Structure 1
């Protein structure tokens, strides 16, 4: 039935700062969710190769510090370069199992020189094609010490059965205007990805659902002290100040009425699978639609720049 969509929330931990091993976990989750009949699987923010937890644990803002330089270099070396085919195996699995994917990555894009990284949310459709790469508009607090600010190119939505799906990274979900941009494109299934923690998901998930009269899927990762690989650079300094639990999950689903469909799931690794019904969106839009009958574009209107940003624009001489 076109109005029903079976979704899988992949609440897993990365093999921290190890691109190859984390991708293996992602691929296994895709296979497992396909066996359950899932048509969409969502992973947390920056899952591949992981969130930069060291910044808060090693004096990340200290200028010219060797520890931070070496950890940053290790991070960039394990980031995803889409242009070089780092997501090819994920796309192949998507196509094989006819499953759409939202995957949080640390992206190392060649169109920005290939040395800076972005917290990006990649959408792969059920045919295995990458449809959008949304680079986080504004890294949060200490994230700015390692992530670069993104652009509006990825503020896009995609058809998935009767749904129109879009997504934002972490605290972008608190930004009213990016949300409004997605609403204006017809979004009715909102994907919110997080590094982990019910402190992030427990309030905003229901709020966005209530505001937009849409389904909202929040997916978080997990991270504990034991999840740091033993070959992590400067592991002793990281563990010295690290709490036992750095990210406790909190993945959840809220319905278009703002009520819980699945309450935040804590400290449990694995897949959370549920079927959602598009008709619930139409029911709740009856009395409120933020960009339709309950809007006043003659009074307030949003302008969005979706140009992919770069420092250079080349004009080639095509004359022989």
Structure 2
């Protein structure tokens, strides 16, 4: 059945995590999801890097040509509080989704070996882990602590709510990435971010109008008191515990660029909106950027969705990064997604 005749209630959570405290953050997610579900939300979105934190204001002790022992230790703490995918934290998030009967999208810091990635995790209302999107392009100093995603994690998932995808923070400024999302038919476009500027609202509205999709912009709201003592930052000299470090600005936008909820710059909140999925086709009547309003005879974009690895094992040698379950047949399952 098409999702385009449905009304879908969604929730965008604007909150602070428990920095470096995975279990504490999971408890907060659990409570916020319960609150959102009790008000009828069928999809709940959390901000970028909500587990364990977006490291705003820290340098990890890096200067051009040097790294400090203190910065290395801070990275170790950050790594320790990051998420294996799959792993126990993913399992617990799945339980939260299932217990509340919600589709769930959560921004996490994923660890893979010694590298961290800014990642969005997707869950069905049955608690199934649908898959992930790794941020393709960390911005500026984010590259001190996060690796680069590749084209193998650019999913748009078919769900009973609609086609669900995500782009993280300044990835949303990448036209080719947006076009890939539109070509996959994204209907509910999640945009977890760390950008709290007023101009970000213009970006969210532009994407909604360009893709004729619903856009859910989601940011943290952070005060100085949310930073633990073992988290050195630019705000160490700030004496006011209520000083706002990140002011949010979360919002929900319809396919014609109209604001359904937000932007909220006031504090922690859950934003709700009812999405009339029929608005997508109403909007595409006069603008379908990968359909009747495209010119493939003039412009074409190629998307490489292959997973990239720095070392590829061939012949009889087993790849240590991919333990062999069955030496005769590869039985690894692949998450269902649109292509």
After TM superposition, the score normalised by the length of structure 2 is 0.86
Aligned counterpart for 1:97 among listed residues 86, 94, 100: 100
Q: State how far apart, in whole Å, the 2-side matches of 1:22 and 1:242 are.
A: 25
Q: State how far apart, in whole Å, the 2-side matches of 1:107 and 1:81 are.
A: 6
**Could you tell me which residue of structure 1 aligns to residue 68 of structure 2?**
65
Aligned residues of 2:61 and 2:67 also touching (Cα < 8 A): no
Give the deviation of 1:316 after TM superposition: 6.5
RMSD: 2.1
**Could you tell me which residue of structure 1 aligns to residue 150 of structure 2?**
151
**Could you tell me which residue of structure 2 aligns to residue 302 of structure 1?**
301
Write the mapping of 1:43-62 to structure 2, written as runs, cut at 5 A. 43-56=46-59, 60-61=62-63
SS in 2 for 1:203: helix
**Could you tell me which residue of structure 2 aligns to residue 239 of structure 1?**
236
Counting helix residues as a fraction of each chain, which structure ranks higher?
Answer: 1
Q: State how far apart, in whole Å, the 1-side matches of 2:231 and 2:132 are.
A: 29
In the alignment, structure 2 segments of 5+ residues that lack a partner are 317-326, 329-339
| Runs ≥4 residues deviating over 4 A | none
Aligned residues of 1:201 and 1:264 also touching (Cα < 8 A): no
Give the deviation of 1:67 after TM superposition: 2.3
In the alignment, structure 1 segments of 5+ residues that lack a partner are none
SS in 2 for 1:48: coil
Write the mapping of 1:237-316 to structure 2, written as runs, cut at 5 A. 239-240=236-237, 244-315=243-314
Distance change >3 Å, CA 202–CA 4, structure 1 → 2: same
Aligned residues of 2:61 and 2:72 also touching (Cα < 8 A): no
- 1:10 aligned to 2:13? yes
Give the deviation of 1:200 after TM superposition: 5.8
Aligned residues of 2:110 and 2:118 also touching (Cα < 8 A): yes
Superposed CA offset, 1:110-145 (max 9, x none):
xxxx11100001111222122221111010001001
**Could you tell me which residue of structure 2 aligns to residue 164 of structure 1?**
163
How many residues are paired up?
Answer: 312
After TM superposition, the score normalised by the length of structure 1 is 0.91
SS in 1 for 2:181: helix
SS in 1 for 2:86: helix
Bigger shift: residues 178-187 or 32-41:
32-41
